[in-house]
Amino acid sequence: MPDPQPDPFDALRSPIIPLAPDAAFAADLRDRLVRAVPTPTLREPPMTTETTNRPRNGVRSGDVSYITLGLPDLTRGRAFYGAVLGWRFSPGNSEHGAQVDDIVPMMGLWGGEQPTGGRVHGAVLGFRVDDISAAVAAVRAHGGTINDPHREVYAMAAEGHDDQGIPFYLHEMPSAARDTVSGDAGFHNGEVEGDVSYLTMVVPDLDAARAFYGGVFDWTFNIGRPGGAQVTGVAPQIGMTTQPETGPATPGVIVCYRVDDIAAAVHRVRDEGGQASEVAQRPYGLESLCTDDQGTPFYLHQF
């Protein structure tokens, strides 16, 4: 009697052999899947805590968890920053937003109204907190205004203004992975081109700003030149000033970006319709003060 033909479904009954994918590939795939999940809110694109040694949503309370860059024209913003900084984008959760891929900290372009109403031309910072209810109470106790905390897909969140009218967000998120390579607890200030290298907060009253943010986040400061102060122990690094180099002291945030070749980046800014100062040598590296093609000020840094 001839042997029976093998059952083609026998292969499906083979023992399951677990695989060990490359850690970097797995982390990148997880990040892509999280970004692809639609969210029910129009406030901002989804966020996630990285499991690699490049946390993108801060590590400790007071770190920057997210940056929203408000622009009058979203399409022009994507074209400009894509050409100048090499940014790549994923769709936001509405036609008003676009998520910047890969950079630290996480960032999105936004062309609509803010959650608390009105449009902002420039950067709005989100801050990581350990206890959002306590942080909301501290904001109100120190003269700020803020919404009650609410659940988003990525975090507990609240939106508000400090006691001088500057908008910001609070995010309470799952614990972030610590940087086990360098031991610096997740400090990342412009590691690769396109990353945020520094943030300058322009405030009307420096003493009031120090009291507010020190009270809410327990920030401490190094006092530098008159009208300026450096926040200690946050990522990315943050400075406060009442006298920005960009001209009139409009309250808000000026973002600095890391580039590998600042001379080439300055040419790209000008080619794309923006303005850029001549490159200057600073103690920390090379710098150029720029504006994009919609009048948004920013800095370029080469370390």
Structural domain span for residue 136: 55-172
Mean pLDDT of 69-77: 96
Contact indicator for 45, 112 with CB cutoff of 8 Å: no
Structural domain contains residue 234:
yes
Res. 92: pLDDT tops 60:
yes
Q: 79 and 155: one domain?
A: yes
Structural domain contains residue 181:
no
Q: Pick the last residue of a domain from 140, 172, 204.
A: 172
pTM of structure: 0.80
pLDDT bucket at 42, cuts 50 / 70 / 90: very low
* Structural domain count of the chain: 2
The per-residue pLDDT for 5 is 55
The per-residue pLDDT for 98 is 96
Q: 64 and 152: one domain?
A: yes
CATH of the domain at 148: 3.10.180.10
Q: 162 and 241: one domain?
A: no
Q: Pick the last residue of a domain from 137, 172, 207.
A: 172
Q: Report d(CA 259, CA 197) in Å as an integer.
A: 9
Q: 200 and 296: one domain?
A: yes
Who contacts 113 (Cβ-Cβ below 8 Å, separation ≥6)?
Answer: 119
Structural domain contains residue 36:
no
The per-residue pLDDT for 243 is 85
Q: 161 and 202: one domain?
A: no
Query: Among 107, 125, 102, 126, which residue's Cα sits nearest to residue 52?
Result: 102
Structural domain contains residue 45:
no
Q: 164 and 242: one domain?
A: no
Q: Report d(CA 280, CA 299) in Å as an integer.
A: 11
Structural domain contains residue 95:
yes
The per-residue pLDDT for 12 is 41
Q: Report d(CA 216, CA 199) in Å as an integer.
A: 18
Q: Report d(CA 267, CA 278) in Å as an integer.
A: 10
The per-residue pLDDT for 53 is 62
| Residue in this structure with the two tokens 């400075």, named with its chain if needed | 239
Q: Which class for 151: exposed (0-12), middle (13-18), buried (19 or more C-beta within 10 A)?
A: exposed
Q: Which of 6-15, 39-48, 109-118 has maximum average pLDDT?
A: 109-118
For 116-146, what is each residue's pLDDT tens digit?
778 999 999 999 999 999 999 999 999 999 9
Q: Report d(CA 87, CA 97) in Å as an integer.
A: 14
Start-end of H helices in 157-241: 206-217
Who contacts 9 (Cβ-Cβ below 8 Å, separation ≥6)?
Answer: none
Q: Report d(CA 157, CA 118) in Å as an integer.
A: 19
Contact indicator for 135, 129 with CB cutoff of 8 Å: yes
Structural domain contains residue 125:
yes
Q: 125 and 210: one domain?
A: no
Q: 61 and 168: one domain?
A: yes
For 219-273, what is each residue's pLDDT tens digit?
999 987 778 999 999 999 999 999 888 766 789 999 999 999 999 999 999 999 9
Q: Report d(CA 241, CA 230) in Å as an integer.
A: 9
pLDDT bucket at 198, cuts 50 / 70 / 90: very high
Give the CA count within 13 Å in the CB-facing half-sphere of 246. 25
Start-end of H helices in 55-117: 74-85
Res. 206: pLDDT tops 90:
yes
Q: Which residues pair with 24 in a beta bridge?
A: none
Structural domain contains residue 229:
yes
Q: Which of 42-51, 78-87, 183-192 has maximum average pLDDT?
A: 78-87
Q: 222 and 161: one domain?
A: no
Contact indicator for 64, 128 with CB cutoff of 8 Å: yes
The per-residue pLDDT for 69 is 97
Q: 113 and 157: one domain?
A: yes
Q: Report d(CA 269, CA 287) in Å as an integer.
A: 13
Contact indicator for 99, 89 with CB cutoff of 8 Å: yes
Q: 168 and 77: one domain?
A: yes
Structural domain contains residue 8:
no
Residue 261: count of CB within 10 angstroms of its CB? 12
Res. 183: pLDDT tops 80:
no
Q: 159 and 202: one domain?
A: no
Q: What is the mean pLDDT of the chain?
A: 84
